[in-house]
Chain A
């Protein structure tokens, strides 16, 4: 996996965790919000392996609820205490990285 792909994978984990932290939500709604926020390289289906990974790590919990419209059961996710801690770590590292990268890129743009 290339460095940019690794980076995107890590960012998607953090973004999804951030959305779940806001309120209890489900797969389709998460994808909808990511698309609305123009999160790059996101496609249908790409979030489900991430949700499974977050769930296995104990960062989120899920509960299946019956659909009101007679459709299949819907799986709702909420963040756990460990998830909140991980999100705080992610936000700290993201700000740190973002700041550093912006500074480096600004000097690159100056040269150009």
Chain B
């Protein structure tokens, strides 16, 4: 049974507030499920539960917070995340021979890539806490994500034209071999850590460059290299978009029994 929008918003905000405090996801799920059950019965009985739904989220979360366990290995996950982000910025560059260790690249990684990701996570949390699961949340999230994507493109341009100071400039062969070794090591680590999704993700990011290299014999100045890698990238992006849309409609159909 679907709850009222106000109730769904309340549960979503409480969940996000507790997860942002680093609380164990399973315990947060249990609380949400219990409150969902309570609200479901109350709404079925047409009871007024405004006293619950109007409770300030932060003060209600405080009441649970002290009794909930923290996510185990939170700092380990943060370290994995930073490492993965670093790998994502490095390996594809090595495979297309554009990798140079420069001051600009370090600044890009720290302030633009990592910084923008952390900013967007907190910004989206703020949006959800203010407007809940609404159209305006999606619109602002979309616009800010597009703005950040634009910032990446601008940074990429600045990075290539203004390296500030070159610390290390490896040769084409070193770049490619090092990139390939790092890619295999990363995928192996992901498999060991049982994170097959991330292994697939990093492979997908590198496949356009790998296939481009395979067809042009490693000549990165060849026009065909850009065309081939761009086509592969487009195929992957569109496959992902189509898969997401199909999945969304399938789930929507499953959630709404009246449509079946």
Contact = CB atoms under 8 A, between A and B. Distances in A.
Interface of A: 26-28, 31, 43-45, 48-49, 51-53, 56, 64, 67, 69-75
Give chain A's interface secondary structure class: mixed
B42 A72 contact: no
Contact of B41 (A28, A48, A56): A28
A27 B51 contact: no
B140 interface: no
Contacts, number: 57
A52 B64 contact: yes
Interface stretch (B30-38, B94-102, B212-220): B30-38
Interface of B: 1, 30-31, 33-38, 40-42, 49, 51-52, 55, 60, 63-64, 67-68
Contact of B37 (A26, A44, A45, A56): A26
Contacts of B63: 49
A45 B67 contact: no
Contact of A44 (B1, B38, B64): B38
Contacts of A48: 31, 34-35, 38, 64
A28 B67 CA distance: 21
21 contacts: A26-B37, A27-B34, A27-B37, A28-B38, A31-B38, A43-B52, A44-B42, A44-B52, A45-B35, A45-B52, A48-B35, A48-B64, A49-B63, A49-B64, A52-B31, A53-B67, A71-B41, A72-B33, A72-B36, A72-B37, A74-B37
